[in-house]
């Protein structure tokens, strides 16, 4: 299995490094062709019968990933899972891993793959959907390997919203990022219109 994924693997990792460097600029899709039936069928994602259709969605902030995910959900009936969101939910639930996840995110590091994969797996197993958009995952090659190992499933598609840094910054600026250089009052004059007209009562 992962026949194509074996050659896909360097593609994924190089895409991730360009995603992290935010240097390249294309919309890329890879399809992984699975030739074998996954072997880890017992009691896992495959136990419900029909194998899930899994899409990994990658892209930086401002890449349009979130917008396109919403469209994919609406058009194709996917269940959208965001790895970052699942981790934040886990923090909020005060679970056994909450504090560790919080510290890891605060430090800007990647949460141990096993923890993230298990959260994703739990969501997939409790969902009625068989189509999953997994957003913000994998962030590392280790993430990808752990996903395959733990779930026994492979992505059917990998979509990478590869956007030049300049364009992403422009888009993020349009989300009211404020130029924070200046005096307190100068900066507040930029902040004020963001709220003006939006607050009622
Ligand atoms: O994708 P998002 O920006 O929401 O992720 C927030 C944080 O969650 C990341 O900065 C990282 O610390 C953590 N994360 C992770 N592994 C992932 C996705 C997110 O550790 N696969
Ligand atoms: Mg996010």
Per-residue pLDDT of the chain (201 residues; tens, 9 = 90+): 323 332 233 344 444 444 434 333 344 555 544 434 344 444 556 666 678 999 999 998 888 888 889 989 988 899 999 999 999 999 999 899 999 999 999 999 999 999 999 999 999 999 999 999 999 999 999 999 999 999 999 999 998 988 888 888 888 887 778 777 788 888 888 778 877 767 765
pLDDT of residue 1: 30
CB–CB of 65/171 below 8 Å? no
**pLDDT confidence of residue 31:** 52
pLDDT at 5: 31
Give CA–CA dist 190/201, Å, rounded: 21
Q: What is the DSSP string of 165-197?
A: HHHHHHHHHTTT-----S-HHHHHHHHHHHHTT
Residues with CB under 5 A from ligand 2 (ion): 84
Among the listed residues 78, 142, 79, 133, the one whose alpha carbon sits nearest the alpha carbon of residue 110:
142
Pocket-testing residue among 83, 90, 141, 155, ligand 1, by greatest number of atoms within 8 A of Cβ:
83
Tell me how far apart the alpha carbons of residues 25 and 103 are, in angstroms, rounded to a whole number.
Answer: 32
Give the pLDDT score at 17: 47
**What are 107-152's pLDDT values in tens digits?**
999 999 999 999 999 999 999 999 999 999 999 999 999 999 999 9
100 lines ligand 1 (CB under 6 A): no
The closest residue, in CA terms, to atom 5 on ligand 1 is 84
> Both ends of the chain: CA-CA distance in Å?
59
Q: How many CB atoms lie within 10 A of CB 99?
A: 11
Q: Which of 110, 142, 155 to mutate to test the pocket of ligand 1 (most atoms within 8 A of CB)?
A: 110
As a dihedral over the C-alpha atoms of residue 56, residue 141, residue 23, residue 55, rounded to 10 degrees, the angle is: -10
Supply the pLDDT for residue 201: 56
Cα(133) to centroid(ligand 2), Å: 13
Report whether residue 161 contacts ligand 1, using a CB cutoff of 6 Å. Answer: no
Q: What is the pLDDT of residue 100?
A: 97
- Quote the pLDDT of residue 200: 61
List strands edge to edge, sheet with 53-59. 27-31, 157-161, 53-59, 131-135, 79-82
Instruction: Verify whether ligand 1 is closer than 6 Å to residue 73 (CB atom).
Output: no
> What is the rounded distance in angstroms from the CA atom of residue 61 to the CA atom of residue 44?
32
pLDDT at residue 190 in the model:
79
């Amino acid at each position: 299995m992962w026949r194509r994924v074996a050659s896909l693997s360097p593609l994924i990792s190089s895409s991730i490094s360009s995603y992290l460097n935010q240097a390249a600029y294309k919309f890329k899709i890879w399809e992984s062709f699975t030739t074998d039936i996954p072997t880890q069928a017992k009691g896992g994602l495959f136990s419900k019968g029909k194998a899930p259709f899994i899409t990994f969605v990658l892209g930086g902030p401002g890449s349009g990933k979130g917008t396109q995910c919403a469209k994919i959900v609406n058009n194709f009936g996917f269940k959208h899972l965001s790895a970052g969101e699942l981790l934040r939910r886990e923090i909020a639930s005060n679970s056994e891993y909450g504090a560790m996840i919080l510290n890891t995110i605060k430090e800007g590091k990647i949460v141990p793959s096993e923890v993230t994969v298990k959260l994703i797996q739990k969501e997939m197993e409790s969902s009625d959907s068989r189509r999953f958009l997994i957003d913000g995952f994998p962030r590392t090659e280790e993430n990808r390997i752990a996903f395959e190992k733990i779930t026994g499933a492979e992505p059917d598609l990998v979509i990478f919203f590869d956007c030049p840094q300049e364009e992403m910054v422009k888009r993020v600026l349009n989300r009211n990022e404020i130029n924070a250089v200046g005096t307190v009052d100068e900066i507040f004059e930029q902040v004020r219109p963001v709220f003006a007209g939006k607050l009622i009562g």
